């Protein structure tokens, strides 16, 4: 079977750093993606890791360790607009499958 | 560039009725996905098309759900008959391909309420 695990909720203050971990079990793994979804909105793509290591895109970074079946999304310099749900998603056997999501709440 | 278009945005039906959702992907995108997102959960892949062929439909309840993608462009998802537990947002997404680093673009979704 296939599974993705990520924390359900994280709360932090503006300007802080948040790390959202994702562990996965799947066959035919190609890579790990991260998507952001605001309340009532559509998921939007943030990043993709196909190889081990860190990918940086502005305030957001994503990491993958294929040997550990583990990845994380790092949100830096948190802003109020970063309050949203964040999903890790695996590409395996050409499918794109999502985790249950982590709700990030940013407090002033 | 136009995004993924879905209609209707909202639909309320009674249980045992039928309903259909329509999706027009981004032009040139070969891969089309239908997801079901129940409130508070992650999107669940119902069916994935590559052009007009099905890549995966392992989580599609085939006794009541059906989907087609005619001519490898737009797609419809149908539920017949609907159950209360089908209340969810149905998201359509498309991508250039199904390879690793291929961003999926989502439509705004159809919010279905079954009463």
pLDDT of residue A41: 95
CA atoms of B60 and B35, how far apart (whole Å): 10
Q: Are A40 and A91 in contact (CB under 8 A)?
A: no
pLDDT of residue B1: 63
Strand B65-68 and strand B19-24: pairing?
unpaired
**Contact status of B89 with chain A (Cβ, < 8 Å):** no
**Contact status of B101 with chain A (Cβ, < 8 Å):** yes
Q: Are A101 and A87 in contact (CB under 8 A)?
A: yes
Shortest CA distance to B91 belongs to which of B76, B106, B72?
B106
**Which residues 13-42 of A are in CB contact (within 8 Å) with B?**
30-31, 33, 41-42
For residue A62, the chain B residues in CB contact (below 8 A) are none
Compare A65 and B97 and report the one with higher pLDDT. Answer: A65
For residue A9, the chain B residues in CB contact (below 8 A) are none
Using the beta-carbon criterion (under 8 Å), do A96 and B44 form an inter-chain contact? no
Residues whose CB falls within 8 Å of the CB of residue A76, separated by 6 or more in sequence, listed in order: A17, A59, A60, A61
Instruction: Evaluate if residue A1 carries a pLDDT over 80.
Output: no
pLDDT of residue B72: 84
Give B40 to chain A, closest Cα distance, Å: 8
pLDDT of residue A98: 95
Lowest mean pLDDT among A22-36, B40-54, B94-108: B94-108
Using the beta-carbon criterion (under 8 Å), do A42 and B50 form an inter-chain contact? no
Using the beta-carbon criterion (under 8 Å), do A48 and B99 form an inter-chain contact? no
For B6, nearest residue in chain A (alpha carbons): A42
């Amino acid at each position: 079977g296939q599974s993705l695990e990520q924390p359900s909720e994280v709360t932090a203050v503006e300007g802080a750093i948040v790390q959202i971990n994702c562990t996965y079990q799947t066959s035919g793994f190609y890579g790990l993606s991260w998507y952001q979804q605001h309340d009532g909105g559509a998921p939007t793509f943030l990043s993709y890791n196909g190889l081990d290591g860190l990918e940086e895109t502005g305030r957001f970074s994503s990491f993958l360790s294929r040997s550990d079946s583990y990845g994380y999304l790092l949100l830096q310099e948190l802003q109020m607009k970063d309050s949203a749900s964040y999903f890790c998603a695996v590409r395996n056997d050409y499918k794109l499958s999502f985790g249950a999501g982590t709700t990030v709440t940013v407090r002033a | 560039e136009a995004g993924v278009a879905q209609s209707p945005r909202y639909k309320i039906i009674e249980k045992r009725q039928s309903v259909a959702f329509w999706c027009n992907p981004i032009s040139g995108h070969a891969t089309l996905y239908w997801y079901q997102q129940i409130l508070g959960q992650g999107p669940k892949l119902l069916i994935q098309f590559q052009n007009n062929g099905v890549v995966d439909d392992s989580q599609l309840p085939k006794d009541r759900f059906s989907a087609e993608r005619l001519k490898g462009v737009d797609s419809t998802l149908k539920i017949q008959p609907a159950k209360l537990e089908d209340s969810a947002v149905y998201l359509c997404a498309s991508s250039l391909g199904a390879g690793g680093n291929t961003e999926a673009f989502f439509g705004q979704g159809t919010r279905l309420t079954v009463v």
